[in-house]
Amino acid sequence: MNNAIYNFREPVNEPVYDWSKGSVEREMIEKELREQENKIVDIPLIIGGKEIRTGITGKITKPTDHGHVLATWHMATEKEAGLAIEAALKAKDAWMNLAWMERAAIMNRAAELISKRYRYVINASTMLGQGKSIHQAEIDAACEIIDFLRFNSHFASVIYREQPLSDNQSINRIEYRPLEGFVFTVSPFNFTSIAANLNTSVALMGNTTVWKPATTSLLSSYYLMKIFMEAGLPDGVINFLPGQGQLISSVVLKHPDLAGIHFTGSNATFNTLWKQVSENLALYRSYPRLVGETGGKDFIFAHNSAVPAELATAIVRGAFEYQGQKCSAASRAYIPASLWPATRDQILDMLADVVPGDVTDFSCQVNAVIDEKAFDTIMGYINRAREVPGTEIITGGRGDKSKGWFIEPTVIVTPDPHSVTMEEEIFGPVMTIYVYPDDKYSETLAICDATSPYGLTGSIFSNDKYAMIEACRKLRYAAGNFYINDKPTGAMVGQQPFGGSRASGTNDKAGSYLNLTRWVSPRTVKETLIPVTGFRYPYMD
Ligand code: NAD
């Protein structure tokens, strides 16, 4: 009998390896990269723990070398979407009735497996399949996944511990029921850790999922699924369903037992899902929980008390790491005229050293964008900006798709704070800068706040406390993750719970207890110890 009341203590973040030349880790990752480059994996669907091959296949190629096939994958049809729902519903009862600590044990085992046995596998597949440098893969696919798994166990213990008052006459308690039904999880291409968290946060709280991974990140998603299974995740708790989004949604979103959607991706896709759910409302047993973290148009704002070297570093790292394909990537900046010449020179100096290349070449800080569609969209933005009078591209601006989807880190300087590249999410290595008159600080803060529909991340650089606080206040709703004197990327689980509002999503803060509360439907239970008899109250006598 297990009658312990168990608490997972607050973990510390997983240390980041530095992968320096000559280290054992460097040797191991290079070996793993070679092995993964020299084979073609056949990726099945995994439903109720069983591999299914539909024979309708696609190919996964390297973004840095699109002629190089890494994997073939099998696509779900309507039939498999139905089977995945059935499997999730079948697995639900046993999974939700397992003591929560046993579910957490599986999550912690998966964290240990990734930290030790599979660190190289998950990092190499993220590097090759999603076009990440070793450092970007390490902080995402290894460290952030491990952090999500360990921290969420701790957050769950905090949630389960939270109970209402009781008195001598009655005992009150809250039962943190999982949602009634299954949860549809839809993951984006850009973070392996998000794919992991979208499923495991939900599963930890006793739910089962139908997971539609992004096609372009299928290699790492598949390895992830295998690791969860090796960690002891029972069959049917997470059902891996690669396929075409629209087709899968057409089945999933019409099912009466849809209990929630856990989504990360573009604003357009989330809006489509939300609309479809609204149209189908009458079909559902419960109101599905809709949790979606979407796009961003993230900013760096400088006051004239800022230091140009700090600003230039934040711009180069914040805008161009992982080729700007982070929802949090800086893509617009507001620099006072007095700081611009020094900041510009330092940006240009730094970018002279940043040359896109293959992920297996560790000297490259940036690599290729994810696929041809992204390449064409991003180049379209750059080419249109080139045509706008007064706009200057001070570095970059060229793309080359002959071998991989390479785009140079590009800095556009615009005289118009409402130009297209200041307003729309580009999701590529493009930073647009508006240089403002020093005496228009407050007015420019107001422009920054009103420029884009998004509200995800942003930073203020200032050494003047009053100016800093004015920015914090005026930009209150412009960013759900706000940074002072730092770049707006690199949120860590447990340290900077992540999410924004406005068009950036429902702001349910992945990496905190707040997200986990969305996956439970609490039941309050009152037990009266001696029930009363007689219906009259004293005031009636
Ligand atoms: P996307 O919206 O194109 O795709 C996301 C997922 O939705 C993919 O799995 C895709 O196949 C699926 N999909 C598309 N249409 C669908 C449909 N009709 N039904 C069901 N699924 C469907 O996004 P992406 O290109 O993979 O990712 C980039 C976007 O994600 C950017 O906008 C970025 O800002 C955002 N993002 C946000 C966060 C955040 O935390 N706010 C984090 C990462 C990425």
- 456-488 pLDDT, tens per residue? 999 999 999 999 999 999 999 999 999 999 999
Cα separation, 413 vs 62, whole angstroms: 32
pLDDT of residue 1: 59
3-state helix, strand, coil in the chain (%, to 5): 40, 20, 35
- 382-436 pLDDT, tens per residue? 999 999 999 999 999 999 999 999 999 999 999 999 999 999 999 999 999 999 9
H/E run at residue 472: helix 465-474
- 154-192 pLDDT, tens per residue? 999 999 999 999 999 999 999 999 999 999 999 999 999
Pocket test for ligand 1, best of 187, 247, 269 (most atoms within 8 A of CB): 269
pLDDT of residue 4: 83
Are 503 and 153 in contact by the 8 Å Cβ rule? The answer is: no
Cα separation, 421 vs 433, whole angstroms: 9
Amino acid occupying residue 195: A
pLDDT of residue 337: 98
Residue 429 to residues 347, 366, 370, 396, 483: CA-CA distances in angstroms?
14, 9, 12, 9, 21
Ligand 1: which residue has its CA nearest to atom 35?
265
Decide: 125 in ligand 1 pocket, CB within 6 A: no
Decide: 449 in ligand 1 pocket, CB within 6 A: no
- 318-337 pLDDT, tens per residue? 999 999 999 999 999 999 99
Cα separation, 168 vs 269, whole angstroms: 52
Cα separation, 307 vs 289, whole angstroms: 44
Q: What is the mean pLDDT of residues 331-355?
A: 97
Decide: 327 in ligand 1 pocket, CB within 6 A: yes
Residue 396 to residues 298, 348, 374: CA-CA distances in angstroms?
20, 10, 17
- 92-148 pLDDT, tens per residue? 999 999 999 999 999 999 999 999 999 999 999 999 999 999 999 999 999 999 999
Pocket test for ligand 1, best of 60, 140, 184, 186 (most atoms within 8 A of CB): 186
What token pair was written down for 366?
A: 């940036």
Average pLDDT across the chain, whole number: 97
How many angstroms is it from 462 CA to the middle of ligand 1?
A: 34
Are 220 and 171 in contact by the 8 Å Cβ rule? The answer is: no
pTM of the predicted model, to two decimals?
0.97
pLDDT band at 374 (very low <50, low <70, confident <90, very high): very high
Percent of the chain with pLDDT strictly greater than 70: 100
